Amino acid sequence: MNINNDIRKLVNDTPFVDTHTHLWEESTRLAALEERRGSGIPASDIGMLFSHYTDSDLIVSGMPEADLKRVFGYDLEPKDKWALIAPYYERVRLTGYGRHVRASVRMLYGEEDIHAGNVEAISEKLRAAVKPGYYRSILRDVANVEYAHVNSLQTPVFMETDMPDLLMQDLSTVALGSGLDLTAVRNATGKDADTLKEWHGVIDWCFKTYGPRAIATKNQSAYTRGLDYAPVSAAEAAPIFARYRKKPGSVSPAELKALQDHLAHYCIHKATEYRLPVKLHLGYFAGHGGMPLHRVRHNAGDMCLLAQEHRDARFDIFHINYPYQDEVIALAKHYPNTWVDMCWAWIINPEASVRFLKEFLMAAPANKVLCFGADVLPVELVPGHAAVARKGIAQAITELMEEKWISMDEAETLIQRLMRGNALELFDHDGKIAAWGGERAAS
């Protein structure tokens, strides 16, 4: 199948709004060059490119974990790291993960593939690029990304970013409710509570303090529990909270679930009050060796109760709920308050993502899908992920045209909508940038 040239050009020229990444702050990457192993950041060399997602494919293909650890460390030369990776690279280079690494290497360092003869040169270029301003140039100039939404993993609630006009920040609600973690919230905010009522006050404080600048709320509790958030009243949850506060071990698993359920609903109500879309992880698990598909397959069904209970919320369902993507097409088609986000999906399974996008567009309103989120920690992987996504979008649109479902005129409008327009409608980028400005002026 040849991708239509006009479509390819339109897709390449149109900027993405990247609705989900985990990018470290640029200052963290700069500091890691000096602090080295104390930073917790992989070394800025060839290992960086394999440190997120492709590491899982390498392990699953047979690479020993101990070797992989050395690939991210600061002790080996790039050529010695490559000697560890090479036997497994051939096994993973055709997956979506492998492809986004290769595409990034091509776009950033001008090499078609990675091999023993160029790992030193790639590493040198990667390291030399780590300078003030390099995030902006990789995201805007190379990846053609207009804004990147960041769910920072460097802090449990909200990242006070240095670049609020480029790296829009999510407010994470995991530790506040569905994955309640009093210590993490206390360490991050200085706030504590003895009673449920006081904890509601802590959540209120987080929304009042961060909500005006946050682009959305984000929650990935589906990694540790189901999304079956039962309606639990404050009167039922209060005595459980009081006991949990004194002695977490005194609360049974069922009681802890009830408390989390109550707080999860509370956080969704707050997000609705602050007009923040509610981003939720559904579907496939990052990492390897631990995904409970029996539970994951209930994610889409559980969403129905949330969508019905919170009519005024706007839910952004992540990762197309892979491998249960058909079910979320049904959700986005049926529920006015539910969107589907293709973040991460293009590299989990590029071919399934092409099929998904075509089927989505034939079934659900075109404004209900968000088409790109790189979902990575290293900024160096965003260009390659964007390239895989652009190829997939161009392929899906070309196929729909060849099959005579859509015309060229319709395709032009659609591409704008899919790559940026839907995100600009759902999220208030301008308002958030203004709020950061106001905040800074006031301080």
Nearer to Zn ion by C-beta: 18 or 399? 18
Identified binder of Zn ion from the candidate list 26, 375, 380, 399, rule CB under 5 A: 375
Residue type, 329: I
140: DSSP letter: I
Site for Zn ion in 154-213 (CB under 5 A): none
Count, residues near Zn ion per rule CB under 5 A: 1
Residue 25 in contact with Zn ion, rule: CB under 5 A: no
Stretch of 89-97, 320-328, 371-379, 414-422 lying at the interface with Zn ion (CB under 5 A): 371-379
- CA 314 distance to own-chain centroid: 17
Site for Zn ion in 275-334 (CB under 5 A): none
Stretch of 92-100, 237-245, 250-258, 369-377 lying at the interface with Zn ion (CB under 5 A): 369-377
Stretch of 3-11, 184-192, 373-381, 418-426 lying at the interface with Zn ion (CB under 5 A): 373-381
Alpha helices in 364-442 (DSSP H): 382-402, 408-416, 422-426, 429-442
Q: 16-21 and 216-219: which strand pairing?
A: unpaired
Nearer to Zn ion by C-beta: 25 or 375? 375
> What's the burial of 95, exposed, middle or buried (CB within 10 Å: 0-12/13-18/19+)?
buried
Nearer to Zn ion by C-beta: 369 or 394? 369
Q: How far is the CB of 438 from Zn ion (least distance, A)?
A: 29
The CB-nearest residue to Zn ion is: 375
Nearer to Zn ion by C-beta: 291 or 366? 291
Task: Report residue 341 as tokens.
Answer: 């986000």
Stretch of 236-244, 355-363, 374-382, 433-441 lying at the interface with Zn ion (CB under 5 A): 374-382
In DSSP notation, 310-343 reads -TT--EEEGGGGTT-HHHHHHHHHH-TTEEEE-T
Stretch of 50-58, 164-172, 372-380, 435-443 lying at the interface with Zn ion (CB under 5 A): 372-380
Q: How far is the CB of 251 from Zn ion (least distance, A)?
A: 29
Element (H, E) at 293: helix 293-296
Q: Which own/partner contact pairs does 323-328 have at CB distance under 8 Å and 24+ positions apart?
A: 323/283, 323/284, 323/349, 323/352, 324/283, 324/296, 324/297, 324/299, 324/300, 325/283, 325/352, 325/356, 326/359, 327/300, 327/301, 328/282, 328/300, 328/303
Q: How far is the CB of 283 from Zn ion (least distance, A)?
A: 11
Nearer to Zn ion by C-beta: 217 or 395? 217
Residue 18 in contact with Zn ion, rule: CB under 5 A: no
Alpha helices in 403-428 (DSSP H): 408-416, 422-426
Nearer to Zn ion by C-beta: 321 or 395? 321
Residue 26 in contact with Zn ion, rule: CB under 5 A: no
Residues at the site binding Zn ion, with contacts judged by CB under 5 A: 375
